[in-house]
Structure 1
Amino acid sequence: MHVPDGFIDAPVSAVAGVVAAGAVAVGLRGARRELGGASPGGVAGGERTAPLAGLVAAFIFAVQMLNFPVAAGTSGHLLGGALAAILVGPYTGVLCIAVVLLMQGILFADGGLTALGVNITVMGVVTTVVAHLLFRGLTRVLPRTRRSTTAAAFVAALVSVPAAAVAFTAIYAVGGTTDVPIGKVLTAMVGVHVLIGIGEAAITALTVGAVIAVRPDLVHGARHLGTPLKLRVDGELVDAPAPAPAPAPAAARSTRRVWAVGLAAALVLAGLVSFYASADPDGLEKVAADQGIDRKAREHASADSPLADYGVGDITDARLSGGLAGVIGVGVTVVVGSGVFWAVRSRRTPEAPATRTTGSV
């Protein structure tokens, strides 16, 4: 659903850019709490979340290269907002998607540069917020189990994709550069993106379920699994007593193994599996072509980039060119993302000085 240049007029693109910048600013502030850097004590689990946030961005970049068929002549790919929100938190999730979209727009000519604000708003903010709110609501009413958490992730991801389609249609209704009946655009966008949402939900649920099975302490959305049970005593709910857990071994506390496995998986997906992705246009491209939205689309400013269209210039072998571009993309995204999140986490709020009180004797 990467919106290219020319779909949305300049004034609305500028407004969307301001909205996206504001969302990123809010995300930076909220991510400090999620990553454990908002205060000297941080948030429980935040010190383990920080190293994984850059990995989540790189993994989403890799999976977005894997277009899957959803209908005759149409494909879809992961948007990633739900996955990021559940794994590392909604604020950090917005930043993850923003980093991915920035890398794709600058290096790979995927998504217009003037439409970057639109893309961050639609693919980053809308999907992350909708998925987070729905996921949080479901986990509050469903049983507190790993299976229920995975099911909630599936539903949240499924709904987040058509929600993004509705958001794009609303933006197009205000600033579209072609005269196309909005009702037809909305019907076509929601229809195809409901199908894409099923794929998004499956990928999100599988990924979240796999991480929960191995290290539930690393999943932001699974922290409720460790919440103490409640007992009713004399008509009041109190925390059930729990035995003190034994100290976890260093290997269990470390994120190095998870980080290494996740990075290896991202490299394999982007470098090898992406060659077998569907070549059909994605949902937005198909709707744009069918409805005439793309009549005023402009060539990307980075169309001459050595990595444009996810290939390496001067390498004629398609498999090697695409695979190498994917590996470069994963590497750059994980480096940039990790740098951003480490910087966010390192900015701690100074402790308030203790006030000295005096008393008379």
Structure 2
Amino acid sequence: MQCPATAVMAMVAVLAAVVDSRLVFPPGSDMGYIIPDDPESEKYDDDTSWQNYVDLEDDKTQLPQRGAREALKQVDEALWDILQSSVRQEDNRLGMERREDTVKSDPVENWHGRWFPHPPQPDTRMKDEELPDSLKDDKHGIAMGVPHKMCDNGKVNLTVDWDYSPINYTCFDPKHHRLPVQTNLSSVEQCIYIPKGYTPQHLCMYHTITYNTTLPTFGPHRPIWPVYGEYKFVPVQRWLHSIEHGAIVMLYDPCTEPMLVSQLRNLLTACLRKHIITPYTLLTQERPLALLAWGCSLEMSNVNATEVKEFIKKRALHGPEGHYPRNGGFKEGLIRRAEYPPGAEGKDSNLCPE
């Protein structure tokens, strides 16, 4: 196969036979450029002679013959193809060099100076496949309610879900930031269809859990669920497990009018034992109160006793494990443990007994 340089030289010879030109190689390059010869300087006796000379040259000018034009076109196309091929080869070579440089210059492996703020640490987090078989479950991925420090025992690594910031449970300036009571806004109830075969996954504390909505009513959560009752604050990754067990979760903005919070609390605790009460800062200012059940939520601007009881009777004790009676093992921030309401006779199924 003829090399590109030889082919170029051959075609240059053809081109030179057609037009007066020369081949120029830039310093340090094996690729040349064809340029026409410099025209000789012309001498004229006066302005009139100059004009006459131009007229004569115009008369002598002839267009290239058809064969010559085709030869020029073929040479031009061949040179263009060779030039493009050379550019592609050079790009490929430079790309390979850049990739090799990237692999060789790992800033972490090759850095021997000081680090700010501290040297990077290797990822030592557990992996699910490294857990003992006693923690594994075909249904949830991780067994429910089995405390283990390698996964979740309700006591360690809790800052993965909450950094203990008082912002989550404090109204810092009640005098100016207390939310006004709006009695003219109706409540908003929303439910999502959840297939009966759906089973939320349990994730250990070395997994971060986030949700695509501010009021999740189903989804992955921690294996250890909270003791039923009222809390200083409970992260969503915990109380979602309570919802799966049929609980009703009461949420309220920390700056909600205390009278409304008290009214809703009294109604809930008088209806069922399986409840969680916690402040929550992602509610709207127009409706700073909410009740959550499996797949459903009720957002409220004020408290209507009839509406609240209807929601609890209709939505409580649902979920894949809605009638599971046991308390959980998480009790960080627990203020008041839940009890069976009067008249329930120790049965969770007796909702809102009169």
Which bracket does the TM-score occupy, shorter chain normalised? under 0.3
Which is richer in helix?
1
TM-score normalised to structure 2 length? 0.23
Where relative contact order (Cα < 8 A, 6+ residues apart) is larger, the structure is: 1
| Greater strand proportion | 2
TM-score (norm 1): 0.23
